[in-house]
Chains A and B, each alone.
Chain A
Amino acid sequence: MFKLAWRNIWRNKGRSIITIAAVMFCVIFAVVLRSFQVGVWEHMVGDIVANNFGYLQVHQKGFWGDQSLDLSMDEATLDWDAMENVPGVRSLVPRLESFSLVSTGDNNRGSLVLGIRPEGELSGLRLTDQLIDGRLFAPASDEVVVSEGLAEYLHVEVGDSLMFLGQGYRGASAYGQFMVAGIAKISNPELNKQLVVMPIETAQWMYNATGLLTTVVVDLEPNADFAEVKAALEPLLGSDFELLDWEQLFPELVQTIEADMAGGQIFVTILYFIISFVLLGTVIMMVSEREREFGILVSIGMRKTTLAAVTVLENLMLLVGGAVVGMAVVKPVQFYFKYNPIDLSGQMKEAIEQFDFEPKLYTTTSFLINLNHGAIVFVIGVLVSSYAVWKIMKLNPVKSMRA
């Protein structure tokens, strides 16, 4: 039966090639489209969110909602050793974050102040690769590193001094005058516009919050599952604390991803509709072309079910062939754009930057997408083949031979 189907395929090469090509392009389009979509988000979550904010954060209960320094926690109340020993936890990263008015005297802007210990930070804030000018501040010094966008806005350079004014811990006022030691390009575009990084001790002094932290970022081992680590950490924290994963930290981002994915799926669905009809067309063409042949086969004693099975097999071979070729062709494309993202320019770039996304299109190399779409095309093929089956089952050999 296989042999029969195989031979049938090569009997009409033109038709077979059309079918294979249709399936192939459908798979290529769908996969490329989805790869870009998933890839952009993968990059966004992996590089921009995880490397700056981490997958898990510990705060005093209510801090993330309020963003108030009054809800900061005493370093001494956390069980650091027990938390660091949880499997999957690479390190714990202490931070003090708050807002402040930053002023040069002429210009001022509300900014996000982050007190950190750079050597223990997540890769996005270690400030070694990120520095584009100057150097890192010394620990506990009166020096800061300013993000590129903020430096540009305030017209400051390395060596200039900045004044800080804000609200400190429990109603105290926060103030300070610090020197710009370096300027850094932060991968998260939103942070890059408003971030000032300073030694954690300096931030604690400025906010009158000695010994206090607002945030402890849980840095995970590369392959750790954040949900598992979260479940293991939770019992170690008292009810005074909150342990949030990135989906809880950035629910808007999760929603945006979901909305965007839904949009992409609609587009792909339309694509599949079109391709279904193309395939249906070739099947109808095949059935009508071979009506006479089918009639002869049935009248010389071939069972209709066997004939239908051969026809379906033929079709499936074409479809699987097309899908495999499509998946294979698209793979290098996926890899290429993952490492060489498309850099958007012009109006598109500005529009995307306004939404605080990096204006670059990445792809994912996840094979799951290829497999998914291969499978969808296969299912469509089976459905379309049922037309041939139906036609064969109600075949009248005499009539069809006269046709």
Chain B
Amino acid sequence: MTKVFQSFLLLCFTTAALAQNPTSILQKAEAKLSGADVAAEVSIRTVRPRWERTMEAKIWNQGLDKTMILVTGPAREKGTVFLRNGDDVWHFVPGIKKIVALPAAMVQSWMGTDFTNDALINAGSLVEDYNPTLLGIESVNGTKCFKIALAPKADAAVVWGQVITFISVDQFLQLRTEFYDEDDYLITTLEATEIKSFSGTNLPSKLRITPADDEGNFTEMTYKALNFNPTFAEGFFERSNMKRVE
């Protein structure tokens, strides 16, 4: 009897969910962060079974295709800059005072973390690169979420075979995203927790990325400050600014 009741409930939820358009859910979620002009200060903690390491960084973002990341600590990495402007991705290494173009395949680890270059610098837009399908409603850490499957569009330059994202029903926050390869193997999971108000906007302040295969490995990015209306000087996202940016 309970089973029948559960199925009925599920059916109700599913129908309610299906009434929503997955694309608009995704758009609302993305509007919160990506594509916006943002200046953030973060700390990035990489955890391994035998050791852990914390880096401090500043991230600036303008629109969908301009990103600058400045590493401010620890000392060995201080001054390291990553810049994406359109299709070009550059890496400034202060130790050898050189700017290096990063290769197009962006799947390597970013500075030894579990973030790939692609995830951090080249994030792109889920709405633009994927076709969403609403699968239903599921609870993530006690919060009701839309479960949306994303299949890459034929011409999208993305590395994943499928992405499943959970977007909270009440605030349209992307609380959990699972990344699968072409063979449908789970590769990494991105979880967003500790929702805080940043200049009036509620956003998760902690992003944790956990690779599926390596037990005990994860990377946690904590937003310490987030400014939604930064003003960027002319030429801020230019290569020449990489050695000067602070």
Contacts and interface: CB of A to CB of B under 8 A. Distances in A.
Interface of A: 70, 101, 103, 105, 108, 163, 165, 167-168, 170-173, 175-177, 208
Nearest to B49: A70
A116 B109 CA distance: 27
Nearest to B54: A171
Given A170-B112, A171-B46, A171-B111, A177 B98 contact: yes
A170 B53 contact: yes
B98 A163 contact: yes
A173 B100 contact: no
Nearest to B113: A171
B98 A173 contact: no
A70 B76 CA distance: 17
Given A163-B100, A170-B48, A175 B95 contact: yes
A172 B77 contact: yes
B51 A173 contact: no
B156 interface: no
30 contacts: A70-B50, A70-B51, A101-B100, A108-B103, A163-B96, A163-B98, A163-B100, A165-B100, A167-B109, A170-B48, A170-B53, A170-B112, A171-B46, A171-B53, A171-B111, A171-B112, A171-B113, A172-B76, A172-B77, A173-B77, A173-B80, A173-B95, A173-B112, A175-B93, A175-B95, A175-B96, A176-B95, A177-B96, A177-B98, A208-B76
Q: Is the interface of A mostly helix, strand, loop or mixed?
A: strand
Given A168-B112, A173-B112, 20 more contacts: A70-B51, A105-B98, A108-B100, A163-B98, A165-B91, A165-B93, A165-B100, A167-B109, A170-B53, A171-B46, A171-B48, A172-B53, A172-B76, A172-B112, A173-B76, A173-B77, A173-B80, A173-B93, A177-B98, A208-B76
Nearest to A103: B100
**What size tier do the contact residues of chain B reach?**
10 to 19
Q: Which 7 pairs across A and B sit closest by C-beta, in order of nearness?
A: A171-B112, A177-B96, A175-B95, A171-B53, A175-B93, A171-B46, A170-B51
Interface of B: 46, 48, 50-51, 53, 76-77, 80, 91, 93, 95-96, 98, 100, 103, 109, 111-113
Given A167-B112, A168-B112, A176 B76 contact: no
A173 B48 contact: no
A340 to B, nearest CB: 44
A62 to B, nearest CB: 11
Contacts of B48: 70, 170-171
Nearest to A172: B76
Nearest to A170: B51
A168 B93 CA distance: 14
A104 B103 CA distance: 14
A287 to B, nearest CB: 67
Contacts of B76: 172-173, 208
Could you say which of B53, B76, B77, B96 has the most chain A C-beta atoms within 10 Å of its C-beta? Answer: B96
Contacts of A103: 100
Contacts of B113: 171
A371 to B, nearest CB: 51
A176 B51 contact: no
Contacts of A176: 95-96
